[in-house]
Chains A and B, each alone.
Chain A
């Protein structure tokens, strides 16, 4: 039972990102390096937010403080990723020799968003998954039996969301569109604050709200990269 649960939750959380990685990123070494690079920057953001949470001892018990600070720091680091990629684009081109990737801002945004997402999803779900493999069963004596499923769903949502957010964010910076930037920040805050309800175990509400968030952000990102309903229809039908 635990093995089945482990594999089920693992593939639920990491199936789509793995597919995205295998089909779009694994063939190009420069994209892999960019992915790892943005993962590293997310780790730095996490480190910084942990330090701040650590230091402000009176506010430590109010998780909402830590969450809001962390969200803002992550978005700041997303901005830093953009700036770094911008500054090093000449050097990257020399190294990679593949200007198709470097000059295409959307691809860069996608790769760095996926990097953020994968490391974020990994960090927040892998310990839970490892516990899922253990001998116990959640919900038998206490807790909710939906715990692992919710955890995996949320991990999937955050991975996808990070990808879309980066696309919208990079576009917002590039075209100096404040509305896009504020959409990303508000969406992230909305997602994280919704998850604060998870402790009260109203999983149905949090999952539904998060999935709505994902779909909305997905449509927005799709529109930004120039997708239309017509193109989508042609893509599916042909």
Chain B
């Protein structure tokens, strides 16, 4: 999938990528959100008539499309991106079998490492091609922490890449460093940290899977571990100043802590909690 995308990008088939992005975000925002709404209503036994549901979904979806693909207040855009990533992650958690999820997580973080760092890696080619053409790399397709004052007009390639379809591999992390972004746009005023949406999705898959075992301690431990992994990655980013994969460190920490907590810490805390002993 990633390789196909890189081929399309290299051949300047912007329209195809454009169309694919719009289609996939459309599907996510309308179809999957509706399915999710249905599940939530079913779980809490809340009745909702079809006109109300249609009204809610229509508004939600349209605002989402506008926020992701065009312009919207930063917080709204970020909120929609997060929602869409979480939805995608839910799809993974719900429909992938038990061990497949864990294996997929492990494999994708290794793939991410290879794709970004090795000289022939697809993501590295993407970064370098975009730099050569002096374009932004999929501008704002990535979750960015600040508003971009985007001056460079590049063939209408200002699309928001919400997520891929259900196939597994995607260009996960395009951590642009501050140095690279300055190269590309001198006039840019705000610098922000950019994180690929695929990263969000796989972090969410990990936490979702951890929470599916019913133990809050495992979920919280996994959550903290992923955050620390992200901090370390950002630290590394500040030191090395080039595109880095965001998945490996966080996923490794997350997986380790998830299993360590459920196997070693859980019996201890359960024994303590039964007696109400606080350490």
Contact = CB atoms under 8 A, between A and B. Distances in A.
Interface of A: 33, 36-37, 39-40, 43, 46-47, 49-51, 53-54, 63, 66-67, 70-71, 74, 95, 119-120, 122-124, 126-128, 130, 147, 150-151, 154-155, 157-158, 191-192, 195-196, 198-199
A53 B268 contact: yes
17 contacts: A36-B227, A36-B228, A37-B228, A40-B225, A46-B279, A47-B261, A50-B264, A74-B279, A95-B238, A119-B224, A124-B273, A127-B217, A127-B269, A127-B273, A155-B278, A195-B276, A196-B275
Contacts of A157: 278
A94 B235 CA distance: 11
Given A63-B277, A67-B272, 17 more contacts: A36-B224, A36-B228, A37-B228, A43-B224, A46-B265, A46-B279, A50-B264, A54-B267, A54-B268, A119-B220, A123-B220, A124-B272, A127-B273, A147-B276, A151-B276, A195-B276, A196-B277
Nearest to B217: A123
A36 B228 CA distance: 7
A49 B268 contact: yes
Given A36-B228, A37-B228, A43-B257, A123 B269 contact: yes
B220 A122 contact: yes
Given A50-B264, A122-B220, A124-B272, A70 B238 contact: no
B224 A63 contact: no
A152 to B, nearest CB: 11
Contact of B231 (A36, A124, A151, A192): A36
Given A119-B224, A123-B269, A124-B272, A154 B278 contact: yes
Interface of B is mostly: helix
Interface residues of B, number: 29
B14 interface: no
Given A50-B268, A123-B217, A40 B278 contact: no
A150 B276 CA distance: 9
Interface of B: 215-217, 220-221, 224-225, 227-228, 231, 235, 238, 257, 260-261, 264-265, 267-273, 275-279
Contacts of B235: 95
Contacts of B225: 40, 43
Interface of A is mostly: helix
B278 A124 contact: yes
Contacts of B228: 36-37, 40
A66 B271 CA distance: 10
B279 A192 contact: yes
A127 B216 contact: yes
A157 B278 CA distance: 10
Contacts of B269: 46, 50, 123-124, 127
Contacts of B271: 63, 66
A120 B224 CA distance: 13
A71 B279 contact: yes
A63 B278 contact: no
B128 to A, nearest CB: 27
